[in-house]
């Protein structure tokens, strides 16, 4: 369930980045990279917590 939400989040970040790049073509990729990294980090954190709950609890 979290993986599905994570993929939608990553797709939304990419789509927003493309939209902003089309509006203002100055190279401002830092925000896109940070947003995508945050979307990936939340999914990895959820995976880590699920393994922690599966094997420890």
Q: Is the pLDDT of residue 17 over 90?
A: no
Instruction: Say what the pTM is.
Output: 0.53
Count how many domains the chain has: 1
What 3-state DSSP class applies to 57? coil
The distance from CA 25 to its chain's CA centroid, rounded to whole angstroms, is 22
pLDDT band at 3 (very low <50, low <70, confident <90, very high): low
Q: Is the pLDDT of residue 54 over 70?
A: yes
Q: Is the pLDDT of residue 55 over 90?
A: yes
Domain of residue 44: give its range.
2-55
Closest by CA to 32, choosing from 40, 3, 46, 5, is 40
Closest by CA to 32, choosing from 44, 21, 45, is 21
């Amino acid at each position: 369930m979290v993986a599905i939400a994570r993929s939608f989040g990553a797709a939304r970040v990419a789509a927003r980045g493309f939209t902003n790049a089309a509006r203002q073509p100055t190279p401002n990729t830092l925000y896109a990279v940070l947003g995508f990294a945050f979307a990936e980090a939340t999914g990895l954190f959820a995976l880590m917590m699920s393994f922690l709950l599966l094997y420890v609890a």
